C-alpha cells in the first residue's frame, strides 16, 4: 500500500516514479556528504552508557546539539529532518562514520589509553652548529663571492665607467648581512677588497643608490634560486607562506580603513611570499608584492619555480592557499598537496578530482594528513630566522629599494643555511656548474 500511495502521488503531480526515486537517492547522497563533513570538522561526544551520541548542529555549532541513537535497524535522531522524514539524516551518517573509525578491520573495538606525553625535543648537532657559527662570516664572503661571479655584466659603450654589477650585489648583500649602517659598513667593505672579493671599494652612498635600481631585482631572484641548488638531493618536502616586512614610512591606519583623517598611524610594509624546504629551511622561490596583495595567486608561480629545480614529494600550506587550481598545480608536479581545508569545505561534482581525493584523505586519515600538514610550521621558522638575524624592518625609503633589500635578506639567509649544511650534512656548495 505505501508503494501504491507513492505511485499515486507521483502520478498526481505528473512526476514519474523512477525519477522521484532518483531524486530521493540524490538527496540521501547529499546527506551522506554533509555527514562526512560533520564527522571531519566537528567533535561528536558519546554518552556514558554508550548508546547515545551528541552531534553538534552544522549551522549553529555547539550551541545546539542533537541526540542520535545509532541502532543499525532503527536509528533515531532528534533533528527536524529525521522527525519529518523518519529516514537517516546527516547526523546519523556522521555518527556511523565516527563509530566506524573506532573499529578495527576484524570488528573488534580499539582501546585508547590517554597518557601524559612529554614535549618532543629535537637533538642539536652542537659540534656542527658551533663550527658553522664560528666560521660563518668568512664562509659567507667566500660563497657570496662565488655566487656573484656568475653575473653577466652588460657592456658599456659610453659614459663614466660604472661600478661592476657583481661587486654592487656583493656589497648590498654583505651590508644587509652586517645589519649596520652604510657608514659603519665601510670598514668591512675595505676588508673585502683587501681579500680580493671586490675590485674596488664603492662609496657608502653608492650601495644605497644601487639598491634603488630596478634591474637589480631579477638578478637577486636568480641568485636566490641558484643558491638553493646545492640542496637538491636533500629537500623533497616544501612549505609556502607569506610575511610582512615593515618599512620606515608611515601611513594613517584609520584613514586607510575608514577614510577618516584620524591621527592613528602604522608602518607601511611589503609582503614576501616564499617557498622553502622543510629540512634545511632553504628558500627555493620568492615573490615580493604590496601589503594588500592576496596570497593564493602567488602559489602557482612559487611551485613552478621550485619544481623546475627540485623533485617535490609534498607541499604544505595554510587555508589561505586552498583552491582547486593550487591543488592541481602541485599534482601536476607529481607531488601531494597538504593544504588545510576550511570548516565549510566539502566534496561535490563541481570540484576537481584532486580536491575530492585530498578531502577524503583529510576526512578519513586526519592523523596522517596533519602530520604532513604541520611541516608547514617550518616556513614560519624560516621567516623567524630571517627577521631575527637580519631584522624585520627595511631601512630603504623607495619601494624598489625596499624590495631589493628584502631579497638581500633572503639571499643572506640562504647562504647561512648552506654554511650550516656544509658542516652538518657534509655538502660542499657549487653553484654555476649545477645551474648549467
Using one digit for the tens of pLDDT, what is the confidence trace for 123-181?
A: 778 888 899 999 999 999 999 999 998 888 777 667 677 788 899 999 999 999 999 99
Answer whether 394's CB lies under 8 Å from 248's CB.
Answer: yes
**pLDDT (average), residues 59-82:** 82
The distance in angstroms from the start CA to the end CA of the chain is 80
Rounded CA gap, 301 and 55, in Å? 42
What's the mean pLDDT when you consider all of the chain? 83
pTM for the model: 0.72
Rounded CA gap, 235 and 346, in Å? 32
Sheet with 61-69, edge to edge strand ranges: 45-46, 53-57, 61-69, 76-77
Over residues 342-390, the pLDDT tens digits come to 888 888 878 889 999 999 999 888 889 999 999 999 999 999 999 999 9
Please enumerate in sequence order all residues whose Cβ is within 8 A of that of 59, keeping only pairs 6 or more positions apart, or say none: none
Query: What is each CA distance from 179 to 112, 286, 403, in whole angstroms?
Result: 53, 22, 16
Please enumerate in sequence order all residues whose Cβ is within 8 A of that of 394, keeping only pairs 6 or more positions apart, or say none: 245, 246, 247, 248, 270, 402, 405, 406
For residue 49, what pLDDT band results from cuts at 50, 70 and 90? Answer: confident
Rounded CA gap, 11 and 64, in Å? 39
Is pLDDT of 20 > 60? Answer: no
Q: Return the percentage of the chain with pLDDT > 70, whole number.
A: 82
Task: Give the residue extent of every domain in the chain.
Answer: 18-101, 216-247+274-435
Rounded CA gap, 23 and 435, in Å? 59
The phi and psi torsions of 222 (rounded to 5 degrees) equal: -65, -40
Amino acid at each position: 500500500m505505501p508503494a501504491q500511495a507513492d505511485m499515486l502521488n507521483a502520478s498526481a503531480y505528473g512526476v514519474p516514479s523512477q525519477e522521484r526515486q532518483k531524486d530521493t537517492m540524490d538527496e540521501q547522497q547529499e546527506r551522506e556528504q554533509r555527514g562526512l563533513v560533520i564527522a571531519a570538522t566537528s567533535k561528536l561526544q558519546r554518552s556514558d552508557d554508550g548508546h547515545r551520541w551528541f552531534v553538534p548542529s552544522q549551522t549553529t555549532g555547539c550551541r545546539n546539539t542533537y541526540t542520535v541513537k545509532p541502532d543499525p535497524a532503527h536509528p533515531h535522531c532528534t533533528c527536524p529532518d529525521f522527525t519529518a522524514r523518519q529516514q537517516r539524516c546527516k547526523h546519523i551518517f556522521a555518527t556511523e562514520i565516527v563509530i566506524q573509525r573506532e573499529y578495527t578491520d576484524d570488528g573488534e573495538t580499539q582501546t585508547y589509553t590517554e597518557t601524559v606525553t612529554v614535549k618532543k625535543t629535537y637533538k642539536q648537532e652542537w659540534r656542527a652548529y658551533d663550527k658553522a657559527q664560528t666560521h660563518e662570516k668568512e664562509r659567507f664572503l667566500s660563497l657570496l663571492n662565488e655566487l656573484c661571479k656568475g653575473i653577466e655584466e652588460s657592456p658599456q659603450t659610453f659614459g663614466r665607467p660604472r661600478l661592476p654589477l657583481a661587486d654592487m650585489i656583493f656589497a648590498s648583500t654583505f651590508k644587509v648581512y652586517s645589519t649596520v649602517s652604510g657608514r659603519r659598513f665601510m670598514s668591512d667593505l675595505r676588508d673585502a677588497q683587501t681579500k680580493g672579493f671586490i675590485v674596488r671599494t664603492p662609496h657608502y652612498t653608492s650601495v644605497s643608490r644601487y639598491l634603488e635600481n630596478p634591474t637589480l631585482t631579477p638578478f637577486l631572484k636568480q641568485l636566490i634560486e641558484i643558491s638553493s641548488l646545492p640542496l637538491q638531493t636533500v629537500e623533497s618536502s616544501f612549505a609556502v607562506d607569506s610575511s610582512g616586512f615593515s618599512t620606515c614610512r608611515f601611513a594613517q591606519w584609520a584613514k586607510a580603513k575608514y577614510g577618516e583623517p584620524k591621527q592613528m598611524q602604522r608602518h607601511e610594509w611589503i609582503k614576501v611570499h616564499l617557498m622553502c624546504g622543510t629540512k634545511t629551511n632553504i628558500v627555493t622561490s620568492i615573490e615580493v608584492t604590496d601589503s594588500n596583495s592576496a596570497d593564493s595567486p602567488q602559489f602557482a608561480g612559487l611551485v613552478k619555480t621550485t619544481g623546475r629545480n627540485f623533485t617535490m614529494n609534498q607541499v604544505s600550506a595554510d587555508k589561505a592557499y586552498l583552491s582547486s587550481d593550487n591543488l592541481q598545480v602541485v599534482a601536476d608536479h607529481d607531488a601531494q598537496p597538504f593544504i588545510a581545508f576550511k570548516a565549510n569545505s566539502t566534496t561535490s561534482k563541481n570540484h576537481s578530482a584532486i580536491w575530492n581525493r585530498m578531502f577524503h584523505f583529510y576526512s578519513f586519515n586526519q592523523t596522517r594528513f596533519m602530520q604532513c600538514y604541520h611541516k608547514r610550521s617550518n616556513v614560519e621558522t624560516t621567516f623567524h630566522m630571517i627577521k631575527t638575524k637580519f631584522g624585520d624592518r627595511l631601512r630603504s625609503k623607495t619601494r624598489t629599494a625596499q624590495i631589493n633589500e628584502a631579497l638581500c635578506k633572503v639571499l643572506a639567509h640562504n647562504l647561512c643555511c648552506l654554511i650550516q649544511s656544509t658542516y652538518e650534512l657534509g655538502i660542499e656548495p657549487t653553484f654555476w656548474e649545477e645551474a648549467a
